[in-house]
A and B are shown apart, each in its own frame.
Chain A
Amino acid sequence: MKQITRLGIGLLLSSSLATAHADEVKIGMITTLSGGGSHLGVDVRDGFMLALEQSGRDDVEVLIQDDANRPDLARSLSNEFMQRDKVDILTGIIWSNLAMAVVPSVVRQGTFYLSPNAGPSDLAGRMCHENYFNVAYQNDNLHGAMGAYMREQGYERPIIMAPNYPAGTDALAGFKHLYEGDVVGELYTQIGQTDYAAEIAQIRNSDADSLFFFLPGGMGISFMKQWESSGVEMPIFGAAFSFDEILIKAVGSAAIGARNTSLWAYDLDNEANNRFVAGFQAAYDRMPTLYAAQGYDTANLILSALETAHPDDKDAFREALRAADFDSVRGEFRFGTNQHPIQDIYVREVVEGDDGEPTNRLMGIAIEDIQDVYAEQCQM
């Protein structure tokens, strides 16, 4: 309720007080709050607002709009935010295709954009921009880290699977890049596919020793339930996108034993994270997901930069963002030359929690200081 009040006040202010205080900072958030996969946007928003609340600052105003997972809507919302509300910073987009529709024109017009989730390769490489910061990950990071982890664990014949669309083919390419070996097979599914009997039969009939898959959202739920009932015995691996706390609750026991890579885990022991997890559970009465952690870090990065400069002073504010002088919930955090994170990626295992519900448990580090391969294409 709190963020709704804040939003209400925000909208009121933006319409009635055209001449707000000069030192006030306006942040526009465009995120997915309805339609498929809206729990991602809800968590980014809630994590972001929690950080603002904990900071106690009252000179930062956040305007929130729902993009309904539609690129055209996201684009017109960004224009509204920039032209009517004159926001200093934009953030919030979940999906890479929406980010590609919005971010390039936003940053060209001089507004800062901080990504709390989407990290398409183009924005990390040839289309990078000095006003664009990614606080989450480049899309390949988690898949590549799992490739490195599986190699290190001695799996020699993985079979890999993803939907046949850009993020899916990127995921498998990212995996293979750091796995550095041959895979037994590559399966491409249809986007939004719900029945995986055919793929499961193929996996059973291959001589693979492990399965890596990238099936975000409902696709992952369907697949894992069918996988469990098929009786195939094979260790499964994936990225956190198929194993966030909300999805594995819907999957149930079928998820137990799966290992996944994530840039964050709720049981990661550091001061910032303990404060975040306790605060999030107190405020929203549920376990945060990695998306909430990304939203929280994005807000804290902005707040840390505001300590040194106001976004009106673009060069100084940009320098302050680049310094990344904030306590990240994921431990060490710094930016590479393309303003994407250089960070450790962790491995988690899905286990049965104390309440009998599946939950993620931190196992260790999959790969240290991972940086995306697109940084060298970035000329800033």
Chain B
Amino acid sequence: MSVTLLIEQLLNGVQLGTMLFLMASGLTLVFGVMGLINLAHGSFYMVGAYATATVTASTGSFLLGLGAGIAAAALVGALVELLVIRRLYHRPHLDQVLATFALILIFSEGTRWLFGSSPLRLSPPSWLTGFVTLPGDTRYPIYRLMLIGVGITISIALYVLISKTRLGMRIRAGESDREMIGALGVNISKLYTVVFALGAGLAGLAGALVGALQSVQVGMGEPVLILAFVVIVIGGIGSIKGALLGALLVGIVDTLGRVYLPIFFQAFMPPSEATGVGSALAAMLIYILMAVILAFKPKGLFSAHV
């Protein structure tokens, strides 16, 4: 229960949170602007990771791979919007859920068909391996620090994009009144494609970055997707600010819960039972958090549609 362990776990929580934010921001933008529930968002995460793994393996450059991952995910996102999603905007949410669920199956089987069912290899580049020693003799991997850095950079970039640029103005307008900005002469369908591709590209970036730490395999996007949905529900659907806060909250609560709940139960239970109960409760913790927040704020912390 040392302070260094706590600092390290807080960093881990922030790192998990920033990666969740990359996923959740795209999801919440798409919902906020177009009112679409997109279950296939996890597939863009997978596309990003696969493209990065393939390009990194053939060129030997992780940065080139990363670029390819973002580009591939954004491109696939744009194509999916043009071919499928476009037909769903006026349909009820159930139809959207069904259609985007079908997309998950198509992407998963398509990826398996192209790349086989064995996981691909993707490792952090050599200049990002190793660790740094933080104050208090905490060793922390450079790669994870880099992930936090990327997450913060993207958050600031998104903030600038949405609050300071013309595109951002249209996105905000789209969030508050879809019909009206169409009537005002904004090319809605182009805006939708751009927003969708932006969200997909962010998911691809997250997949590529996290893929180097985890395994690049079919179906890797779905567990993250579930967490991302928890994040946007907590943060308030459609709100980028809410997604950021929700992601950090979920990341930190989940990480600290996994570490400290078993230790907490050990204070008054035999160790093997304590780890069992503690881990089981830790697995539920973020959902409990979600339930508590929704009990007091039914629309999430920052609702875009008040």
Chain A contacts to B: CB under 8 angstroms: 34-36, 38-39, 42, 164, 169, 185-190, 192, 194-195, 197-199, 201-202, 204-205, 218, 221-222, 225-226, 228-231, 246-247, 249-254
Contact = CB atoms under 8 A, between A and B. Distances in A.
B109 A229 contact: no
B163 interface: no
B8 interface: yes
B217 A218 contact: yes
Nearest to A250: B119
A286 to B, nearest CB: 9
B280 interface: yes
Contact of A187 (B131, B143, B217, B275): B275
A252 B8 contact: no
Given A164-B279, A197-B255, A225-B123, A38 B215 contact: no
Given A169-B276, A225-B213, 19 more contacts: A34-B112, A34-B117, A38-B117, A186-B275, A189-B258, A190-B258, A194-B223, A198-B259, A201-B8, A202-B259, A205-B5, A221-B119, A221-B214, A221-B215, A222-B214, A226-B213, A228-B129, A231-B131, A249-B118
B279 A197 contact: no
Range, interface on chain B: 35 or more
Q: Is the interface of A mostly helix, strand, loop or mixed?
A: helix
Contacts of A190: 258, 279, 282-283
A229 B16 contact: no
A205 B141 contact: no
Nearest to A36: B219
Interface in B113-142: 117-121, 123-124, 129-131, 139, 141-142
A39 B275 contact: no
B123 A198 contact: no
B85 interface: no
Contact of A195 (B4, B213, B276): B213
Contact of B144 (A42, A197, A228, A254): A197
A339 to B, nearest CB: 31
Contacts of A198: 9, 12, 255, 258-259
Nearest to B272: A186
A225 B129 CA distance: 11
29 contacts: A34-B109, A35-B219, A42-B117, A164-B276, A164-B279, A164-B283, A185-B271, A186-B271, A186-B272, A187-B262, A188-B275, A189-B258, A192-B223, A197-B9, A197-B12, A197-B16, A197-B144, A198-B12, A198-B259, A201-B259, A202-B5, A222-B215, A225-B215, A226-B141, A228-B129, A229-B141, A231-B130, A231-B131, A252-B123
Contacts of B120: 250
A214 to B, nearest CB: 15
